Structures are given as C-alpha cells and as structure tokens.
Chain A
Amino acid sequence: MTATRTERTAPVAVSTGTRNGRAAVVALAGFEARRLLLRLPVLLALAGHVTWIVWRTLRPADDFPVLQDADRATQSGPLFVGLAVMLCANQAALRSLRRDTERHFAVTSLTLWRRTAAHVLSVVPLALLTAVAVTAQFTWEAAKPGAVGRGSVAELLAGPLTVLLFGTAGVLLARLNSSAVAGPLLVVAFLLLFVGSASQSGGQDTGPVWLWPVVVTSGVHPFPSDLLGRPAGWHALYLAGLALTVALLAVLVSGGRTRTVQAALAGALALAALGGVMQTGGIPAATDTARSRASLAPEQDQTCVRRGASHYCAFPEWTPRVEDWARIADRVQGLAGGAAHDRPLLVRQRLEARYGLSDDAALDPATRPDQVTVGTSWGGDRVPEFSTAVAGVLVAGNERRAGELCDGRMVPLMWLSLAWQRDPESALRHVRLDDSVTGSALVLSGTEPLTMTAGQTKVVRALLHRPLADVGARVKAHWDELTAPGVTTARAAELLGVRVSVGGDRCTG
C-alpha cells in the first residue's frame, strides 16, 4: 500500500485575540443554547406550545377574555417546554461524560464549573423565547375587542421562570448523577407529580400548593383583579430565587466554590425562602372581606351606567362589556309585548367569590323585580344564557319566579331568548344543558336553571322556523295571556298558531 503525500505548507495560525474566561463562558452558553434550541424534544415542545396558544386563542369561546385570567392561562404550556428543556439541558451537561470527551475538556482552560455555568446560562434564551410566546399569547388576548380586565406581569413571569427552573434543574441533576436515565426519569416523575397534584389539590389556591411552579386554579367565574388573592408577585420571586439557587448549586457542586458563588447562593436561597414563605400565607383578610362584599353587596363596588330605560351595573373592569349586554337586552325586550317591552331593567353583574377562585357555586336568583343577573364570563354559551335570563325576567317578573316556571310561559320565554339570534336552533342547542334540541332538558341560566318539557321544546322549535315578524306580532298581540301564570303550553301554542301535540305541563302533571 502506498500513501499519497502532498506537498503542503502549514497554514499560519490565526490571531485569536486575548483569552478571557468570562467571555468564553458566554460564548459556550451561546453555543449550547443554539444546540438546545435545535434538539427535537425542545422543538416539539415549542411547536406544541405555539400550536396550543393559537388553538386556545382562536376558540370562539375565548373572544371575550378576562385578562386577569388570561395571564394565568399562559402558565400551563411552558410546563412542557420546561420539561423538554430539563431533559435536553441534562443531556447536554452529561455529553462530555457520556461521549468520553471529559478527559480532553478537563485540561482546557474552561474548568468544569465554568462549563456548568455556561450550561445554566444556555437555558436563559429558552426562557426568553418562552417569555416571547407568553407575551404574544397575552397580547393577542388583550388586543381582542372583547377583552376586559388587566393582567399581571408576575403571573406572566411564571411560565418563563418555570422553564428556567426546569432547565437549571436538568443541569444540576447532571452534576449530581451522571446516569443517562436520571434525566428522563426526573421528567417522568415531574409529569406524574403534576398529574397527581392537579387531581389532589382540587383547585386549591392557598397554602403549600404554591410551592409548585405553576398554580393555575382555573375557575368558572373570573374574579375582579382585586379579589384574586393570588400571591403572584411572591411566587415569581420564589421561582426566580429557586431557579437561581438550583443554578448556583450546580456551579458549586462542579467546583465553583468561589466567594462570589457562595454569596450569590446565599442570596438566591434567601429570595426563594422569602417568596416561598410569603406566598403560602393564604388569602389576606382584606381580600376575604372584599370577596364577601362583592358577593353579598356588589353594588358597593360597582359602576352603573344607563342605556335607554335600563341600568347596567358592573364591576369597574367589566364596564366595557355593558354595550354587549345592552345590545342583547334591547333585542330581547324589542320582541316582548305589553309593559315588558319598555320596562326598565336593572342588569347587575354578580359573582360568588366567598369560596375561592375554583368554586363554581351557582348564584341565587335575584328576587328584586326586573333585576337581571349577568356573570363575569362572556361569549359562547354565556350569551344565550343571558338572553334567557332577560327573557325570564320579562316573562315572569323576576329571576326566582322565572326559575320556577313550569307552565306554557316557557314558550314565549324561550322564543324571546332565541328568536333574535343569528342561528336560533344552534343557540337552543347551546343553552340546553345536554346540547339537545328535542325532548325535555334543563336550560342554562346565570342563576338557577330553567326546565323545558318535550312539548315546549316542540312548540319553540316550530316557532323558530317561522318568520320572526309573524311570530313577533302574535307574541305582542297575546302578551298578557301568554305571560299569565297558569297558561298551558297547549294554549300558548294555539295562541301562537302552532299545531303540535305538546302533552301536559310539569305543573299540571
């Protein structure tokens, strides 16, 4: 065998400038960050996060976001990004051991603890990228015409800080245990813990539950910002302190026992402890008092505005929504006859805040004449639900009596509620608890549900298929009889010109 030898001149070494340890740590962090960004689990998690944001934000039910809830909704997605970053940061920190390059790297001028610092820093761009995604999600929500309320920067920080915490935890784990399976096992353990904690906490939003990175406590009814009682600021401090502590511990166990690292670790621990203690103190007494006041005497906190003959009272953050409510109330009232057509209504926003964010207790129906309850959620099923509440008050006189209706008055009530809508039959489906359009069913309401019999459903559906003006004229013409207590469904059908077999009413058996 012969070797081919070529005449070559050895190239002259390129000047590489002054060598600087700190700059090398930053350069290595940049190198590792680029690789981290290109790892498949991270790419998949980021793509999943973005997809989830787009899907969630485009849902019709999300057209009217409450921003003090929308900020919290940014926290779940980053959990999965964090777990992917944890896994990949762990593998990156173990790379030189697993690939047997540590023998070489150990004699370079960048010592292990500096390389560990670079791995820790490499997580920062991922946390920043998450922050961009979270900001985009929140900004998108805030830019929607139906958005109300205000978000919290501290709540928005939870997602990116979780990614930072998980990433640094992956690096620390690599320095404590060089096994290649430790990282994946930790990820699985975290997943199980998240699932376990979600099922066990039952939406609890006080106490030790705040030691978890993300405490979403999704409630059915959004609270005014002042009533949230979430220690979001302390929690952000806790997460930041914890992430720093984990990062500095990783540097420390890698040999970086400098005074600066030790002092910074003490500081980070103090921050984490301070945030950890302050966030678990429970709901402040003042917030509890405010929650009770908002539940029992909301008028003390509300702003009322007049639209036409009616008054609309809302918690201050919801006043932009008055126009939506007024538009619907006007449409319903425009179809009513008799005195109901011009009756001044009091539309009041109500909320049960005494039992915490995750409580979904129904509100008691109002007994005051002409008062209509509207909740703090809007959009989707809440629109026909409100329309039904308005119609109920117009037909029965107040909410309690509307909830007790069992006779033919349900027919004009439901027709008023649905007839003005763009797709009345679809609205009927949405406002019924079982999404049915035949048979008997419970009808959703902001307070107590109403009940439609199978016969009433038949009559209402038949009316919805007829011209609005024609039915409207009959409703107005026979308003007094149609809304008189005891009117039967059969009689209501007859008055409205519908010939169907309706059976007996609930009241009459």
Chain B
Amino acid sequence: MTVTVSASGLTLRYGATRALDDVSLRLTPGVTGLLGPNGAGKTTLLRVLATAVPADSGAFTVLGRDPGTARGRQEVRRALGYLPQTPGFHPDFTPFEFVDYVAILKELTDRAGRHREVRRVLAEVGLGEVRGKRIRKLSGGMRQRVALAAALVGDPGFLVLDEPTVGLDPEQRLRFRELIAEAGEGRTVLLSTHQTEDVAMLCHRVLVMADGRIRFDGTPAELAARAAGRVWSSTARDAGAKAGWRTGTGAFRNVGDPPEGADLLEPTLEDGYLLALDDEHAEVTA
C-alpha cells in the first residue's frame, strides 16, 4: 500500500522532557489510530506532523512533500486537515462562516467554488440544516462537527484528528465514528484517541505511544493478539496481574502473566493496549 506519511527519528524536547523520542512511522491511506495515556506524546506527535511545531531532529514527509523547507511546509499545509484537541470556535460566526473562513485560510479563493465546498462538507457532517445558526447556539457535538467540517474542507489528503470524540455522548460518538470512517475513505487519517473501541471500530492500523516513543505499530488484531494467553479469569484479583478488575459476573479479569492452569480468556484490543504500555521495549510489526 502507498505510504503517504513517513517519519523517521522525530525527537522533540520540552526542557528536560522528551516529548518525542526517536519516533519513526509510516502511514498509509485509511484511518490509523494513535493510542496512549495522557502525556504519552500523542498531541505533540500530531502537532509536529501538522507542522504546528518543528521537531528538534528527525524528518518526515507528507504526501511526498518535505515540510523542512518553507515551500514544502506550505505544500504540506495545503494537503492537511487538522482538528485540534478541544478546538476553539468563533461563537458569533455561523458554521458556514467559520468553515468558509477556514477554507479561505486554506487558500480556496474562488468564491463560488469555495461556497459549494463549504456546503458540501457541512452536509457531509450533517450540519446542512443549521449552517446559518450562530455557533454559540449549537450543542457540543454539533460544534465538534463544525470543527471536523473545517478540517475536511478543501478535501485534504492527510487528516489529523486529535481526540475528536472527547466530551461527546455515546450517540454523538457513534455519529462521529461514522463521519471519521467516511473521511478515511481515500485519504490518510491519523486519529488520536483514548477510546480503544474507536480504534477497534475504525482503524486498519494502530500506534501505541508512551513516554514519547512508539510502543506498538500494527493492526488492531495484532495488538489484541499480543494479549493472547495473557488474560485470565479468577475469583479474586491475581497478585501477579499487571491489571485486574471485577467484571459484571463477579469474576476477576486479569491481564499479565497468568499462573499455570489459569482460566484463559479471549483477549481484546484494550488488553493488548495495556500490555503494550507496560512493555519495556517497543514492538513494531508493521
């Protein structure tokens, strides 16, 4: 499959903290999930790839363009759609005005064509009916969709979504999932999230980050498979488990290194993620 985003050796320090530590990755069309705990470096990685901040070292290309030069950075930005974490809005703008504004910032200058494009993306995220309403009057979920429309306008080849489903209720999250899946058709989407279900439902690949490093790079199935034979059931929390919790049945689900003869369970993506975080060394399978 075509590699659309390629990075090698990305390192970025904030004082003594290594926010990114020698990160290398290759993205292909479709939705790639980026999982990791708070402070893992997910947002920093997205901001570097979105050209918001330069890395201290390392290099990357987006759709064959090198953002290391001013011209290359400009070209990357023209191909980029970005939805930042908890995006801001101009409350006295309408969704149409806000997305139109972003479209101008993306250098869509033909007024008639731009307006058609704005209407298209607003329809795509299901905001066609409220495009003339002030953003301040929209619900949180609708505002998030405005931000997604702003990211999608101009048909970017590379879409960076930083925790787009945070704060949404389950229904809104499902709706957003659908939109992201649609957005991932034919373009490269990098989706940062805490929600393993989102990754399981949407992503053809998943990256797990911790401490500024990529701990896992593979398919969701491969991440889940990492936990094969390492999830078991017991009547009490197993002292040797790296994580364990009581389930609805009253039994404990343990993740880690099981004792001999343990009652092994089918692993999930979340089990694999927990183990990937705990591993000392990154395991890159892709």
**Residues in chain A within 8 A of chain B (CB atoms):** 1-5, 8, 10-17, 19-21, 23-24, 26-28, 31, 95-96, 99-110, 115
Task: Give the complex CA separation of A95 and B98 in angstroms.
Answer: 12
Beta-carbon contact of B150 and A13 below 8 Å: no
Q: Which residues of B contact A104 (CB under 8 A)?
A: 82-84, 87-88, 102, 147, 150
Beta-carbon contact of B105 and A115 below 8 Å: yes
Of residues 78 through 122 on chain B, the ones whose CB sits less than 8 Å from some CB of chain A are 78, 80, 82-84, 86-91, 100-111, 113-114, 116-117, 120
* Stretch from B34-42, B167-175, B240-248, B255-263 contacting the other chain: B167-175
Q: Which residues of B contact A103 (CB under 8 A)?
A: 52, 84, 87-88
Beta-carbon contact of A15 and B185 below 8 Å: no
Q: Which residues of A contact B83 (CB under 8 A)?
A: 104
Q: Closest CB of chain A to B284's CB: distance in Å?
A: 27
Chain B: how many interface residues by the 8 Å CB criterion?
A: 47
Query: Can you report 18 A-B residue pairs in the complex whose CB atoms are below 8 A from each other?
Result: A10-B182, A11-B120, A14-B113, A14-B117, A16-B103, A16-B155, A17-B113, A19-B78, A20-B109, A31-B100, A99-B89, A101-B88, A104-B83, A105-B105, A107-B51, A107-B80, A107-B82, A109-B77
Beta-carbon contact of A101 and B90 below 8 Å: yes
Q: Closest CB of chain B to A85's CB: distance in Å?
A: 18
On whether A109 and B120 interact (CB within 8 A), knowing A5-B178, A104-B84, the answer reads: no
Beta-carbon contact of B171 and A15 below 8 Å: no
Q: Which residues of B contact A3 (CB under 8 A)?
A: 170-171, 174-175
Which 10 pairs from chain A and chain B are nearest by CB? A100-B88, A13-B155, A19-B107, A108-B105, A3-B174, A23-B109, A24-B107, A101-B88, A109-B77, A17-B110
Interface of A is mostly: loop
Task: Give the complex CA separation of A20 and B111 in angstroms.
Answer: 13
On whether A110 and B107 interact (CB within 8 A), knowing A1-B171, A101-B90, the answer reads: yes
- Is B123 an interface position by the 8 A CB rule? yes
Task: Give the complex CA separation of A107 and B185 in angstroms.
Answer: 23
Beta-carbon contact of B77 and A107 below 8 Å: yes
Q: Closest CB of chain A to B37's CB: distance in Å?
A: 22
Which single residue of chain B is at the shortest CB-CB distance from A24?
A: B107
Of residues 104 through 144 on chain B, the ones whose CB sits less than 8 Å from some CB of chain A are 104-111, 113-114, 116-117, 120, 123-124
Q: Closest CB of chain B to A401's CB: distance in Å?
A: 72
Q: Closest CB of chain A to B168's CB: distance in Å?
A: 11
Of the listed residues A10, A28, A102, the one surrounded by the most CB atoms of chain B closer than 10 A to its CB is: A10
- Is B74 an interface position by the 8 A CB rule? yes
Task: Give the complex CA separation of A8 and B123 in angstroms.
Answer: 11
Task: Give the complex CA separation of A15 and B117 in angstroms.
Answer: 8
Q: Which residues of B contact A101 (CB under 8 A)?
A: 87-90
Beta-carbon contact of A1 and B170 below 8 Å: yes
Q: Closest CB of chain A to B26's CB: distance in Å?
A: 21
Q: Which residues of B contact A21 (CB under 8 A)?
A: 74, 107
Beta-carbon contact of A13 and B88 below 8 Å: no
Which single residue of chain A is at the shortest CB-CB distance from B123?
A: A11
Q: Which residues of A contact B90 (CB under 8 A)?
A: 95, 99, 101
Q: Which residues of A contact B117 (CB under 8 A)?
A: 13-14, 16
Beta-carbon contact of A16 and B154 below 8 Å: yes
Q: Which residues of B contact A13 (CB under 8 A)?
A: 117, 120, 155
Q: Which residues of A contact B74 (CB under 8 A)?
A: 21, 109
Task: Give the complex CA separation of A14 and B152 in angstroms.
Answer: 12
Task: Give the complex CA separation of A96 and B87 in angstroms.
Answer: 11
Q: Which residues of A contact B77 (CB under 8 A)?
A: 107-109
Of residues 142 through 163 on chain B, the ones whose CB sits less than 8 Å from some CB of chain A are 147, 150, 154-155
Beta-carbon contact of A16 and B89 below 8 Å: no
Which single residue of chain A is at the shortest CB-CB distance from B151?
A: A104
Task: Give the complex CA separation of A107 and B67 in angstroms.
Answer: 11
Q: Closest CB of chain B to A82's CB: distance in Å?
A: 23
Task: Give the complex CA separation of A313 and B116 in angstroms.
Answer: 70
Among A1, A10, A109, the residue within 8 A (CB) of B107 is A109
Beta-carbon contact of A109 and B104 below 8 Å: no
Q: Which residues of B contact A12 (CB under 8 A)?
A: 120
On whether A10 and B109 interact (CB within 8 A), knowing A1-B171, A109-B77, the answer reads: no
- Is B190 an interface position by the 8 A CB rule? no
Q: Which residues of B contact A2 (CB under 8 A)?
A: 171
Task: Give the complex CA separation of A95 and B91 in angstroms.
Answer: 10
Task: Give the complex CA separation of A24 and B109 in angstroms.
Answer: 5
On whether A110 and B178 interact (CB within 8 A), knowing A11-B120, A31-B100, A100-B88, the answer reads: no
Beta-carbon contact of A107 and B50 below 8 Å: yes
Task: Give the complex CA separation of A260 and B143 in angstroms.
Answer: 40
On whether A108 and B106 interact (CB within 8 A), knowing A3-B175, A99-B90, the answer reads: yes
On whether A99 and B88 interact (CB within 8 A), knowing A3-B171, A107-B52, the answer reads: yes
Q: Closest CB of chain A to B123's CB: distance in Å?
A: 6
Task: Give the complex CA separation of A28 and B169 in angstroms.
Answer: 35
Beta-carbon contact of B113 and A16 below 8 Å: yes
Q: Closest CB of chain A to B92's CB: distance in Å?
A: 9
Q: Which residues of B contact A106 (CB under 8 A)?
A: 52
Of the listed residues A23, A26, A101, A102, the one surrounded by the most CB atoms of chain B closer than 10 A to its CB is: A101
Task: Give the complex CA separation of A10 and B182 in angstroms.
Answer: 7
Q: Which residues of B contact A28 (CB under 8 A)?
A: 101, 104-105
